Chain A
Amino acid sequence: MYSVSASHAIGLIGGLIALPLALVGLRFHPRRRSVPGTVQAAAALMAVTGGVHLALIPHHLDSEPFTSALFLLNGVAFITLAASFTWRWWRLSSSALLLATVLGYLIYVGIGLEGPDQVGIATKLVEVTALGLVLVPVHGEHAAHRGWRHAAIGVAMPLLIVISGATVWIVDLARPDARHVHAGALLQATNTIPTPAQVDAANHLYAETMAAITPYQNWRQAWAAGYRPGGSTSLPSTHWMNQRYVDAGYVMDPHRPQGLVYANTHHGPVLLGAMFQMKSLNRFGPDPGGPMTAWHQHENICFTPFGFEFSLMTPYATCPIGAIDISAPPMLHVWIVDNPHGGPFAVDIDPSVVAALDRT
């Protein structure tokens, strides 16, 4: 959802090529001045989305001939309508085409025929904006159905944007690709099945880390060693970070893990495990256990300094005000408590484990 699919990248180029061509075409259109600027802007945006659809055809032709045919129909229809903006039925036809295209995309994404990506979301934003421009009555214009058109803008645009965002988000979370887990965390690329040597190395790392952090089961010792809560302690668990170890950049040193994870129970912090963290983005650490000890990097998270809290960036690349979009450098957890749903190196701890600790 947050990246550009390789097969769709060409669509961006198609849209970018279509834009200047559309502007030049508009500039020299003999009846340009007979329509308001909103119509001209909508025509330009429709030419862009037409360019995107046409550019996508070659990459889909062999594997998805039906989709390619739809792209061709859509692209030609958009370009034709973009060029014939003085036609009497232009608004009605354009609205219908834009609406059908957005809904068609959502059906395609919903049933898994297409994966949500940046090109798709960007194109839908362009189409919804074009729909608004097609519908909006202009000041002083003798417009038919003025009230209905305003009502359509007030209802259709928000609905389409919210439904598109929700569909794309749900599909992305429900059907992540192989390297994305836990609400968008990017996993390190590894082999699929661990070799016996990798299993031994993972077991060794686990034993060494567990022995090294056992003293920190007493949180006061962790505090004395320089670990401090890195977020709200009202959450089920909190990462305690050692800024000295973070700055030093120790790489997967069981005796100097950058973070410790504590469950916030009613009888105080209970140690769940350690967290190794790399110093910079996109540099995954050593991976002795292969798929068992794959690092992960949290991307597109909205971070707020108020309470050091996180939420997820929306598919439209927006965060709540007061939060900014960041990525966290690659990390690897070692859970010293039983983690039945993911094992000792899982991206996250099973929430039921934390809840059980709180009850005991």
Chain B
Amino acid sequence: MNAPGSTSRPEIAYVLLMVQAVLWMVAGLSALPFVLGGEIHMLGLGLATLLLALFVCLVGIGILWRRRWARRVAIWLEALCVIGSVLLFLLPIGANHGPVAVITNVVLPSALIWLLWGSKTRAVFA
């Protein structure tokens, strides 16, 4: 039986953040081959994305350890992701609207915000 007042929301959020970190990592790695073709700015973007992936991973560990800063950072980060993704979906620039784009760019960040939001969840963070 679960202890009264206990929640595993931080663990679920941790897993989702790990998934998101790996997706960022893949995005960062995907930019690097283009550097060989002469697109030098892609090197900076790729490395910045890899650093973001590492940061998201650390935030995930912070969430697992119930750190208050990690919860705050994660909520802001995911809110930015959702806003950016919704803008991309609304602008007529031909962005992909497939189910994978919806899952990775909207559902996953929204689920993280939902998991970390609220006073009950906040109470478990030190």
Contact = CB atoms under 8 A, between A and B. Distances in A.
Interface of A: 2-4, 12, 33-38, 41, 118-119, 121-122, 125-126, 128-129, 132-133, 136-140, 153-154, 157-158, 161-162, 165, 232, 234-236, 281, 299-300, 302, 304, 306-307, 309-328
Given A300-B96, A307-B39, A132 B18 contact: yes
A318 B27 contact: yes
Contact of B100 (A121, A139, A311, A327): A121
B15 A326 contact: no
B2 A36 contact: yes
Nearest to A120: B100
B19 A309 contact: no
Contacts of A320: 27-28, 30-31, 42, 45-46, 48-49
A34 B1 contact: yes
B95 A309 contact: no
A94 to B, nearest CB: 14
B8 A38 contact: yes
B3 A311 contact: no
A128 B37 CA distance: 33
Interface string B71-103: 000000000000000001000111110111101
Nearest to A282: B94
A323 B23 CA distance: 15
Contacts of A312: 30
A195 to B, nearest CB: 32
A3 B100 CA distance: 10
A37 B15 CA distance: 12
Nearest to A35: B2
A311 B37 CA distance: 10
B1 A37 contact: no
A281 B94 contact: yes
Nearest to A165: B26
B113 interface: no
15 contacts: A37-B8, A133-B15, A136-B15, A139-B8, A158-B25, A232-B39, A304-B41, A306-B44, A311-B39, A318-B26, A320-B27, A320-B28, A321-B45, A323-B45, A325-B95
B8 A138 contact: yes
Interface string B1-25: 1110011111110111011001111
A316 to B, nearest CB: 5
A340 B124 CA distance: 66
Given A129-B16, A309-B41, A157 B22 contact: yes
A153 B41 contact: no
Contacts of A322: 44-45, 48
Contacts of B28: 320
A314 B53 CA distance: 15
A317 B12 contact: no
Nearest to A297: B94
Given A125-B104, A157-B18, A321 B49 contact: yes
Contacts of B48: 320-322
A318 B84 CA distance: 12
Nearest to A161: B22
Given A139-B64, A306-B45, 15 more contacts: A129-B19, A132-B19, A133-B15, A137-B11, A138-B11, A140-B6, A153-B18, A157-B15, A161-B19, A162-B26, A234-B40, A309-B41, A316-B23, A318-B26, A320-B42
B94 A158 contact: no
Contacts of B11: 36-38, 133, 136-139
B38 interface: yes
Contacts of B44: 306, 322
